[in-house]
Every structure is written in C-alpha cells, then in structure tokens.
Amino acid sequence: MTRARAGARARGALPAAPAIPAIPLVLLVLLALLGLGAATAPAALAADNGRWSVFPAPAAGAKDRSPTAQERPFFTLEADPGATLRDKVSVSNLSGEPMTFRLYGADAYNTPRDGGFAVRGADERNTDVGSWVRLARSSITIPARTRADIPFTVTVPADASPGDHPGAIVALDTRADTASGDVRMSVRRAVGARVYLRVNGQALGALSVESVSVGHGTPLFPGIGDSDATIRYTLVNRGNVSLTPRLAVTAEGLFGRTLLDRRARTLPLELLPGQRVELTERWAGAPRFDRVTVRLRVTAAGGDVDETGSASYLVVPWAAVGLALALLGGLLFRLVRIRARRRSAHPDPDPAADEPYETGGTDLSARAGGGPDGPGTTGASLGGRTA
C-alpha cells in the first residue's frame, strides 16, 4: 500500500468522537483526538482541545510556519521489518501562558463497548508501535502561542508481524486540574496525533461476527405502547489490517415473512487488528407476537471480508396470554361447579330398582306343565296350598 492510499484508508475509518482511554482514577487522562473524523471532515484539522494541539510537523520547506500550520492530519508510515523511520511531531501551545508537556508514544486499541479509538496511558505498558517510538525529548515547555517540532524515530523490530500497527504520539499536560464534586479527583489532560504504521508483508483481512442475541420489549397488552428490540453482537478482527465494517440487518418472521430489511451502512468505527468490540443495533417497531430470526451481514475491505451471524427468538405478549389462560381456567372451574350442583340436586336412581324380581328359585315350568306328582299338581310351587 502506498503512503497516499494508507492516508485515504485511515481518513475514511476514524470516528468523529473517539473514546477516552482508562487511566488510574486519581490520574485521569482525557485523550482528545479531535479533527480526525469521518471522510466528510476537512483534512487540515489538527488534533487539539482548544489549548494545545499535536500533529505531524510540516515539511522543512513549508510556507506556513504558524503555530497551527500542518499538512498531514496524522502519521501514515510504511516500513519493512528491521527498518527505522524518522519524522517530527508538532506540539502547539494555543493558550496565553507557557505550558509543560510530557511526550510519549502509545499503542492504540478499540474500546470494548463501542469500538472507539483509544490509546494507552502514560504509565501503561506498550508492546507494539508505542514501544517502537523514541522521541528526542520526553518533556518540553512551550511558550504561549508557540509551536515546537520534536524529532522522533520509529524502529521496527526485525520480527515484527506484517500488517497495521496503530498508535499515537501524545502530549500530556503536566499540570493537574481538580474535578468538582463530592469526590476530589486530580484530572490531567492529553492530546495525541494518531500513527498508522504498516509493516510490509502479507496483508490479511479477516473478521468474525459472534455472540448475536436479541433483547425485546413489548407492551403488556397488544395495542398498548410501542414494541422494540435491541440486537447485540460482537465483531472480532482476526486479521492483521484495520477494517472499516459495513453492516446490513434483516429479520424474518414465521413462514418467511420479511420484518426488517436494513441496507448496509458503514459503522462509525475502525476495527483494529486483533480487537474485539461489542455493538448494538436498535430495532423500533419490532413484532409483538412472532417467531423471529435476525441475520447480520458484515462486509469490509471492498468485499474481501463477508461474514454473517444470526439469532432467533420468540416474542409473546405473556401478560395477555396469562390473562387469557386465567380467564379460561376460571370459566372451566365455574362449569365444573355448576355440573356438580346439578348432580347433587338430581341424584341418579338406584340401579337395584331396575333389576327383575325373583321368587326364590321357583320353577314356573312346573306350574304350567305339571310336576313330578302328576298333571295339575302345583302344591309345592304355591307355598304348600293344593288345588
């Protein structure tokens, strides 16, 4: 990748409001990397917070040598393993009084929750490009409304892995402000110029979509209130180059009905190599009763990366279903009670009353046809009386 192409790639990837790195509580450093936003932002903006700025130094023959003059919004460097690069960083004091800064190189990373660009603090350990930077000065005092150009080198280790190695050169104000509130805190602020270093070698773009889940909220009863859903997912850069993801979201209901078709859009983050970020996507007007399958498609690097993830969930207005079941149960109970009362008021007749009456085993044939004593003799069958 050429130097110009690297700069264009980075400019299109950076978020407009980068995140703040985590530093010890009593020594909070706010890293303001302003002016390095989306591609629509002017390219001639420095990283500053209104009091001082940090940016690549202009070339030696530049006509504009004012405190705010700069030709590059950030450093885009390219080198072979084992090479040493030389450049200069400009730190401008924009305030009306002298300021003293601590200067250092730092590794960059994505904040886990939103993917913001953040860098290590002054006292944190660097293992990548931040440890390869050597500044000519580690601290400097700059008069009011004055710019200082500080040389530095980047020495790439011979065994450095190919691909992108993002970082920053940071100017930390050595004075600490006291934050207001119940808990007194010492606040120190910093501004940094981003460094995009690519080590030559095989570039690999790889990304995965993981841990897709859906949390939904529905009104207690249909027709009352709004229904929405929050899609949660994790993007992991498993390659060695920075990626600018594009996300498309679709959802299908029961029998394949299309419920959501959100076209691909560029996410406001640059996913750095080896980083993992957790993101959310809000879905207003989600279904209130359905079996839903949500699919995410993430692409990057002009279609070289194309990955998908999905999750299914059942949405049911449980309050309404519970009420319906309660009403049905109550109706069945009442029907059983009514039937029981009717049976008590009209008991079934005695089954023995319907059985035929027997005479103790009397042989009726003896009466009709005579007995063993001769014709017409029926004495025994008539209880001892004779005719």
- Measured distance CA(43)–CA(12) in Å, rounded: 11
Of the candidates 39, 7, 49, the residue with the CA atom closest to the CA atom of residue 192: 49
Highest mean pLDDT among 15-29, 56-70, 152-166, 309-323: 152-166
Amino acid at 109: Y
What's the pLDDT at 344? 79
- Measured distance CA(201)–CA(361) in Å, rounded: 116
Average confidence (pLDDT) over 258-277: 96
245, 233 in Cβ contact below 8 A? no
Confidence of residue 323 (pLDDT cuts 50, 70, 90): low
Measured at the CA of 43, the angle between CA 38 and CA 49, to 5 degrees, comes to 80
As to burial, measured by CB atoms within 10 angstroms (0-12 exposed, 13-18 middle, 19+ buried), residue 35 is buried
What's the pLDDT at 58? 87
Average confidence (pLDDT) over 13-24: 35
Element (H, E) at 172: strand 163-173
Average confidence (pLDDT) over 230-244: 96
Average confidence (pLDDT) over 314-328: 64
Residues 6+ apart with CB under 8 A from 102: 122, 138, 139, 171, 172, 174
Residue 304: CA count within 13 A, CB half-sphere: 11
328, 357 in Cβ contact below 8 A? no
- Measured distance CA(313)–CA(328) in Å, rounded: 27
What's the pLDDT at 44? 31
Strands 28-32 and 185-199: parallel
How would DSSP label each residue in 69-93?
--S-SSEEEEE-TT-EEEEEEEEEE
- Measured distance CA(261)–CA(295) in Å, rounded: 10
| Greatest distance between any 2 Cα atoms in the chain | 159
Residues 6+ apart with CB under 8 A from 112: 276, 277, 278
What's the pLDDT at 348? 64
State CA 379 to chain mean position distance: 108
What's the pLDDT at 357? 52
Of the candidates 147, 171, 146, 6, the residue with the CA atom closest to the CA atom of residue 73: 6
Q: Is the pTM of this model over 0.75?
A: no
Per-residue pLDDT tens over the stretch 246-259:
999 999 998 899 99
Sign of CA dihedral 329, 331, 334, 338: negative
What's the pLDDT at 188? 82
Position 320 pLDDT exceeds 60:
no
Coil, helix or strand for 31?
A: strand
How would DSSP label each residue in 311-348?
EEEEE--HHHHHHHHHHHHHHHHHHHHHHHHHHHHSPP
Average confidence (pLDDT) over 300-316: 87
Average confidence (pLDDT) over 279-286: 94
What's the pLDDT at 9? 34
User: Mean pLDDT, the chain, as a whole number?
Assistant: 78
Coil, helix or strand for 371?
A: strand
Strands 246-252 and 290-300: antiparallel
Average confidence (pLDDT) over 377-385: 43
Per-residue pLDDT tens over the stretch 21-66:
333 333 333 344 433 333 322 233 348 899 999 999 987 766 666 7
Phi (first) and psi of residue 365, to 5 degrees: -65, -25
186, 167 in Cβ contact below 8 A? no
In 3-state terms, the chain is what percent helix, strand and coil (to 5)?
Answer: 15, 40, 40
Amino acid at 75: F
Of the candidates 127, 128, 110, the residue with the CA atom closest to the CA atom of residue 119: 110
- Measured distance CA(76)–CA(197) in Å, rounded: 6
